[in-house]
Amino acid sequence: AARPAGAGSLLGKTVTVTAGGTREPLDPVRFLGNRSSGKQGAALARAALDAGAHVRFIAAHMDIPAPDGVELTRVETALELRDAVHRAAPGSDVLIMAAAVADFRPDTNSDTKIKKRDDGTDPVITLVRNPDILAEAVQRRTEAAAGGGAARPVLIVGFAAETGDGSADVLDYGRQKLVRKGCDLLVLNRVGTSLVFGQDTTEVTLLSPQDSESVPAPTYAGTKMEIAHRIVARVAQELDAAVV
Ligand code: CTP
Ligand code: CA
């Protein structure tokens, strides 16, 4: 049952959630994919439904079924996901980009199955960069507002899975990504403390552009469902604060 309107509620709000991993075709039977299970995105959709939102769920490949009760759009490739996001986002209060979007796609998609050749040469796959859908959504909002339109979605949430290395720690990489994308909230998965892909438990830090150096960013460990409720609670709080 939906929560009553008030703190933590998303009643009357439309939330677009992307989930799963995109697949980039090479030929009719092959693709380049990734290990995203879609579990975090599905949990976020469930948590948003629990809070009373109307949920537009844009699903790339998932290992689990899409949750019941969402407005479902299925996509395969990053370019299809991009179209679906840009159709859904301007009419949404919140955009949550939990999908694992392929950074690259093969420059050609053969109409026929790629066969082994007799001349001793093997095919070389050239990759081209996919658009950054999250950064585009932020840019489109800015342009709409500059043109006198509504600055929607009010809240744009990105995800990142990072490991630290010799030159910077996980938080530094997360903050850099937040700035680069221009989103309002970044859910930083700390890879290494627990494996993220396909696992049911994880640890995240919520980063926002307003973070001050002196206050540590909130970090939560738990199941993907528990974390989804934390993220949705934060989203509802930010929406409340954004209303004038
Ligand atoms: N994302 C996107 N479009 C892309 C790639 C990523 O919208 N082409 C979104 C993801 O859904 C996620 C966020 O951007 O919410 C961060 O994804 P990530 O892969 O961590 O960022 P990248 O900019 O691709 O950086 P990296 O080189 O570290 O993969
Ligand atoms: Ca990437």
Decide: 134 in ligand 1 pocket, CB within 6 A: yes
The reported pLDDT for the residue numbered 243 is 72
Query: Which ligand sits nearest to residue 129's alpha carbon?
Result: 1
Q: Is the pLDDT of residue 194 over 50?
A: no
Would you list which residues are annotated within the binding site?
103, 113, 131-134, 159, 177, 181
Whole-angstrom Cα distance, residue 11 to residue 239? Answer: 12
What tokens were used for 218? 């909130």
* β-pair type (185-190, 71-74): unpaired
Statement: residue 9 has pLDDT above 50: yes
What amino acid positions are annotated as catalytic residues?
A: 34
Residues 138-163 have pLDDT tens digits of 999 999 999 999 999 999 999 998 88
For residue range 196-239, what is the model confidence (pLDDT) as tens digits? 566 667 899 999 999 888 889 999 999 999 999 999 999 999 99
Residue-by-residue DSSP string for 151-205: --SSEEEEEEEE---SS--HHHHHHHHHHHHT-SEEEEEEBTTB--TT-SEEEEE
Pick the residue whose CA is nearest to atom 21 on ligand 1.
160
For the segment 178-200, the average pLDDT, to the nearest whole number, is: 80
Question: CA–CA separation, 212 vs 169, rounded Å?
Answer: 18
From ligand 2's centre to the CA of 148, what distance in Å?
Answer: 32
| pLDDT score at 6 | 66
- For the whole model, what pTM was predicted? 0.94
**Element at 30 (helix H, strand E):** strand 30-32
- ipTM metric: 0.99
Average pLDDT value for residue range 161-189:
91
What average pLDDT does the segment 175-199 reach? 82
State the pLDDT confidence band at 90, using cuts at 50, 70 and 90: very high
Report how far residue 93's alpha carbon sits from residue 87's, in angstroms, rounded to the nearest whole number.
Answer: 13
Give me the half-sphere count of Cα atoms (radius 13 Å) on the Cβ side of residue 41.
34
Confidence (pLDDT) at 8: 81
Atom of ligand 1 nearest to the CA of 161: 20
